[in-house]
Amino acid sequence: MQKITPFLWFDGKAEEAANFYASIFNNSRIVDITRYGEGSPAPKGTVMTARFLLEGQEFVALNGGPHFTFSPAISFVVNCESQQEVDDLWEKLSASGEEGQCGWLKDKFGVSWQIVPTVLVTMLTSPDAARAQRAMTAMMQMKKIDISLLEQAQKNA
């Protein structure tokens, strides 16, 4: 059992969300579903929690009702090794959601994600401060991060 597990609160869509996320990421699956019993705050037999793995990381989705919603104050960062991975995840996670700035998006359930190419960290921490600043300036103008545009920006003096 992992020490810390993200626990996500949904209003009736926990199983749908778990299935959606597990269909997008490799090495992902639904682990188990628990259902509300007699005398519970929800109808007997409806999904209470969905425990699932995304890239080996365990998550739990709870159908807790309409009391709480997601905010961008908490997001999941996905480190991507290629532009193809960025493009693929961006397309799938932002479908019926909302694109934000600098690699941020909100999926159709309201969960915030940061889809980040791993090379971005290297660019932003370049020992050449001017190159790092050019990469930062370019990134700030993007929604989905484009590695080739970042590379061009770094080279332009």
CB neighbours of 92 closer than 8 A, spacing ≥ 6? 24
Which of 78, 80, 106, 79 has the alpha carbon at shortest distance from 93? Answer: 106
Let me know the angle formed at the C-alpha of 42 by 40 and 46, rounded to the nearest 5 degrees. 110
Rounded mean pLDDT of 48-74?
97
pLDDT band of residue 3 (cuts 50, 70, 90) is very high
Kindly list the distances between the CA atom of residue 139 and the CA atoms of 30, 54, 142, 145, 149, in Å, as whole numbers in the listed order.
Answer: 35, 27, 5, 7, 9
Predicted TM-score of the model (pTM): 0.94
Helix (H, G, I), strand (E, B) or coil at 117: strand
**Assigned token pair, 33:** 């579903």
Confidence band of 157 (pLDDT split at 50, 70, 90): low
Name the band, by pLDDT with cuts 50, 70 and 90, for residue 109.
very high
Return the structure tokens found at 144.
């989905």
Q: How confident is the model at residue 154 (pLDDT cuts 50, 70, 90)?
A: confident
> Are 133 and 147 in contact, with CB atoms under 8 Å apart?
no
Reported as a pLDDT band with limits 50, 70 and 90, residue 103 is very high
Q: What is the arithmetic mean of pLDDT over 87-113? A: 98
Structural domains present in the chain? 1-69 (3.30.720.100), 70-157 (3.10.180.10)
